[in-house]
Chains A and B, each alone.
Chain A
Amino acid sequence: MVGIDRRLLQNVDWPLLGATVGLVILSASTLASLHVGRAGGSVAVRQLAWFGIGLVALVIVASIDYRRLVRLAPLIYLAGLGALVTVFLVGRTVSGARRWVFVGPVSVQPSELFKICFVLMMAWLLASRWAQPVNRTTLVLAAPVAAVPMILILKQPDLGTALLLGPVLIALLVAAGMPLRTLGGLVLAGLAAAPLAWLVLKDYQRERILVFLDPVRDPLGSAYNVIQAKIAIGSGQLLGKGVAGATQSRLAFLPERHTDFIFAVFAETWGFVGCLVLLACYALVLLRGFDIAASTREPVGRLVALGVTALVATQVLVNVGMVTGLLPVVGIPLPFMSYGGSSMVVSMTALGLLLSVRMRQFQ
């Protein structure tokens, strides 16, 4: 089952893997420069260890035929839902959010792992016989499958991950052939419901949106992160301050500087030129992903490839957009860069699926 054909190996996407390794190296060196908390430089080492674990996940996933996985998607999806419920039963609360579950010595974030389950499930659903032809009926089928986990994740609360599922779903619907008019109606309805959503949001989430609309609204409170991140990025200027000079980051002005705001640290240290290199790596990964999706004519493979690509793309765009002040602050990690085991393993698994599709494209 796991045996790999030599022909399959020939189709491994080396540029994609190369760009990923480049991102992880940038991540580890940025983390090493931070001296975060008690763990000190070991955060970088642990990030590399997670990359190693992620690599194993990638090889396993890539060597399995994605069609087998998609056939199991309903089971995987239910398991994922189970994990999300587990968070409420035995979860650990960190700064007001119940997102983590302890598995032995490591804490796992089920909402991170669920992203993959979601992509597989949607690919299975949209390619299934009941969803054909893709139109309003398909929407009725897909709505509960998407809504249940989104509500569970929102309740943790983890707004970032919940919102992430939206663009991924839309991308899959577009690729599956949903009439654009129907889709437009859906988006309009979503916008119309936005005031309702306002009522559901937690106070701090509303505050973040207000701060995004008006940054000087509260420079001491929630706007602090945004202002400090902008100062960090801006003061990096064209060529950056180097590791020793990056005072914003090193002196802990920046909150969450090894996780969600790591891009600001990188931007301060390496400047505009460094940012271009970093974004080029992401562009390479994402465009390869879209290319694989476009060139795969097998429908399930295309949906899986597009789904994981959309997943990574949304995270990159939302995270960098947030840190540079283009979007409101939402807690979404930057794939491959932000410190975090769950995020790293999930991102690597996503790449594994992409490779699995790519390697079996021409079978």
Chain B
Amino acid sequence: MSSRLGYLGGPGMPGRPDPGRRRVLAMAGVVTVALLVIVCQLWYLQVLEGGRFQEASDKNRIRIRPIAAPRGILFDRNGLPLVDNRPAFTLSLIPRELERDPAQRAATLGRLASLLQIPFAELQDAVARVSPDSILPVRVRRGLTMDDVVRVEEWKLELPGVIVEVEPQRAYPNSRFAAHLLGFVREANDEQLKQGRYRRGDMVGQSGLERLLDEFLRGKDGGERIEVDAMGRQMRMIQSTEPHPGAQVVTTVDRRIQEAAEKAMEGHAGAVVVMDPRNGDVLAMVSTPAFEIDRFTGTIDREAWLRLVQHPEHPMLNRTIQSQYAPGSVFKIVVAAAGLQEGSLTPTDRTDCAGDFRLGDWTFKDWKEGGHGSVDLLEAIRHSCNVFFYEKGLKIGGSVIARYATAFGFGSPTQIDLPGERRGLIPQPRLRRDRRVGGGWHAGETVNMSIGQGKVLVTPMQVARFMSAVANGGVLWKPRLVQRIERRDKGVVWSDGGSVTGHVELSPMVWAFLRHSLWSVVNDNGTGAGARIPGLDIAGKTGTAQMIAKSRASKGQDHAWFAAFAPVREPEAVIVVLVERGGKGGQVAAPIARKILNAIFMEKVASVELGG
């Protein structure tokens, strides 16, 4: 090989001249010279000009200005916004630009504390939590008023390291609007920070849809890297990243109905659910009293928070799914359905109601002093006769009633997407006897269950699902809150076509009878007459859930129910109204339902009134 490679040299011939070697050494020389040039440049930069660059380095002040991504907007089913964003002022500290000297820094913070009436310790805590070299602003207080901003700007020179940022913040149509449904947004708390998904100061949905959909709504923050002079004025923009706004959520809620329902419930504690029986869409969800949803967005002090949480009326509770009540006479629909389908009850069965019902040593009273006289099933439902259902309930049997109640979804959660849903309770007679829990089942318990009292517990949402099934012929829909989620760049990223969670099979005759009898409750001088709207066929059932205390003082402390759907032929809306300690369902809940139904079917009703 070597013989061919004369120039490259060859092994074993040390004596021969090796021009390749010379060239390699020459290249080594070139590299050495290049390294020396670099050394000269370093000498120039670091030693000759070093002082000048040192000065430039000291003057270098860089700030990172985070640009919060606007949270996604929640829309109602018609495209009206349920919440919006507006710019708000936030007070922030930049640790690196605060005074180095502890005493001077304390003076700055003290000045700020007295200027804006912020506890001094709160400011110190905020600074102590981060590195003193950090150039990321630490958010101290959100939702500054214009006065606050002016005050800070006036004192700017005495407040090095203090800045006011502008961030988008949630804005609500009014401060209690759909509070439980939407949920509040607040800075990530310590527990959420520990999970590592959020950074300090991030705004996070804490309840309702804001929490459920937080991942979609929050978007991605952008930021700017800017260089500022000693006065904190921006000298130049170095780098900027655009924020990506959060996704837009189209809910099933109808803002108009929601507003009407909230207005109708003013002054009452309770809950309203409006549902579309054709698909389970939740059109309105109201729980009163509501909390002021915008109170949380800014900085809420501990006392105000405790006042809310410990309030005797529990404003934080979403009564539509998180409270359970005895259903009262609304439950009679279940009993009637069970009896008719099983054949142990026929529409022509009659009972003579004298105002009370005796079982052994016990006496069960009708709500009407003196009784209803001789009533058949239709009349018993229309006038909500208790004695009729005491007697027929016993005949049908507790376990059969429980089976139908369970089939209608009572005692199991509706699987709505909001957290904290209660499942209610349907006592199971057979189970209890077999397992000998609580000493067995008394016939009296069946009697109580027949009018929706005793141990039966339901949530308003369960009643809405049940009433929808009565309206649509037995389909149990999962209550749907969100139709779809859209991102600006990617289109629809999530959608829900609705889902059926159960089916109740009753003969068409039974469905027809139930619908007719519920229609007569409202339209034939029944207990639900208070909900009657001329020109609209409403079917409904009142309920009055007695409180456990039977003393005279608790009179008028009953929970008032009204559950209805309309129009009867092709139901478009189911409405459930519950008023806590409201009194009689027919007197309190039905008129509220009337107002809401009026709003829902405004156009239909108006045309009838004009025509007639």
With a cutoff of 8 Å between Cβ atoms, the chain A residues found around residue B31 in the complex are 286-287, 290, 313, 317
Q: Chain B 1-28, CB within 8 Å of chain A: the 1/0 string? A: 1101111111111100011110111011
Q: Across the interface, do A297 and B10 meet the contact criterion of CB distance under 8 Å?
A: yes
Q: Which residue of A lies closest to B49 (CB)?
A: A234
Given A253-B60, A294-B21, answer yes or no on A321-B42 (Cβ-Cβ < 8 Å).
Answer: no
Cα separation A134 to B7 with both chains bound (whole Å): 9
Q: Across the interface, do B25 and A177 meet the contact criterion of CB distance under 8 Å?
A: no
Say how far A250's CB is from chain B's closest CB, in angstroms.
7
Q: Which of A253-301 contact B (CB under 8 A)?
A: 253, 267, 271-272, 275-276, 279, 282-283, 286-287, 290-291, 293-295, 297-299
Say how far B206's CB is from chain A's closest CB, in angstroms.
26
With a cutoff of 8 Å between Cβ atoms, the chain A residues found around residue B608 in the complex are none
Q: Chain A 166-181, CB within 8 Å of chain B: the 1/0 string? A: 0000010011110000
Interface size band for A: 35 or more
Q: Across the interface, do B238 and A127 meet the contact criterion of CB distance under 8 Å?
A: no
Q: Which of A147-192 contact B (CB under 8 A)?
A: 171, 174-177
Cα separation A221 to B50 with both chains bound (whole Å): 24
Q: Across the interface, do B2 and A299 meet the contact criterion of CB distance under 8 Å?
A: yes
A11 CB–B CB distance under 8 Å: no
Cα separation A176 to B607 with both chains bound (whole Å): 100
Q: Across the interface, do B60 and A127 meet the contact criterion of CB distance under 8 Å?
A: no
Given A232-B57, A237-B54, A272-B42, answer yes or no on A177-B27 (Cβ-Cβ < 8 Å).
Answer: no
Q: Across the interface, do A275 and B46 meet the contact criterion of CB distance under 8 Å?
A: yes
Interface of B is mostly: helix
Q: Chain A 228-258, CB within 8 Å of chain B: the 1/0 string? A: 1011111111100000000110111100000
Q: Across the interface, do B39 and A276 meet the contact criterion of CB distance under 8 Å?
A: yes
B599 CB–A CB distance under 8 Å: no
B344 CB–A CB distance under 8 Å: no
B52 CB–A CB distance under 8 Å: yes
A98 CB–B CB distance under 8 Å: no
Q: Across the interface, do B8 and A251 meet the contact criterion of CB distance under 8 Å?
A: no
Q: Across the interface, do B46 and A234 meet the contact criterion of CB distance under 8 Å?
A: yes
Q: Which residue of B lies closest to A228 (CB)?
A: B60
Q: Across the interface, do B38 and A326 meet the contact criterion of CB distance under 8 Å?
A: yes
Given A250-B133, A287-B28, answer yes or no on A224-B57 (Cβ-Cβ < 8 Å).
Answer: no
B34 CB–A CB distance under 8 Å: yes
Q: Which residue of B lies closest to A240 (CB)?
A: B46
Q: Across the interface, do A293 and B24 meet the contact criterion of CB distance under 8 Å?
A: yes
Most chain A beta-carbon contacts within 10 A, residue among B2, B13, B35: B35
Q: Across the interface, do B62 and A253 meet the contact criterion of CB distance under 8 Å?
A: yes
Q: Across the interface, do A324 and B38 meet the contact criterion of CB distance under 8 Å?
A: yes
Say how far B396's CB is from chain A's closest CB, in angstroms.
66
With a cutoff of 8 Å between Cβ atoms, the chain B residues found around residue A237 in the complex are 46-47, 50-51, 54
Q: Which residue of B lies closest to A301 (CB)?
A: B11
Most chain B beta-carbon contacts within 10 A, residue among A234, A248, A251, A317: A234
Cα separation A227 to B21 with both chains bound (whole Å): 41
A16 CB–B CB distance under 8 Å: no
B135 CB–A CB distance under 8 Å: yes
Q: Chain A 310-327, CB within 8 Å of chain B: the 1/0 string? A: 100100010011001110
Give residues in A with beta carbon < 8 Å to B: 127, 129, 132-134, 171, 174-177, 219-220, 224, 228, 230-238, 247-248, 250-253, 267, 271-272, 275-276, 279, 282-283, 286-287, 290-291, 293-295, 297-299, 302-303, 306, 310, 313, 317, 320-321, 324-326
25 pairs of residues in contact across A and B, judged by CB atoms under 8 Å: A127-B5, A129-B4, A171-B27, A174-B27, A175-B23, A231-B57, A234-B53, A234-B56, A237-B51, A247-B60, A250-B133, A267-B46, A272-B46, A283-B35, A286-B35, A287-B28, A290-B24, A290-B25, A297-B12, A298-B10, A299-B1, A306-B24, A310-B27, A317-B35, A317-B38
Known: A174-B27, A234-B49, A297-B11. 11 other contacts (CB 8 A): A171-B27, A174-B23, A176-B20, A228-B60, A232-B57, A233-B45, A237-B46, A251-B133, A287-B28, A306-B27, A317-B35
Give residues in B with beta carbon < 8 Å to A: 1-2, 4-14, 18-21, 23-25, 27-28, 31-32, 34-35, 37-39, 41-43, 45-47, 49-54, 56-57, 60, 62, 96, 133, 135, 236-238
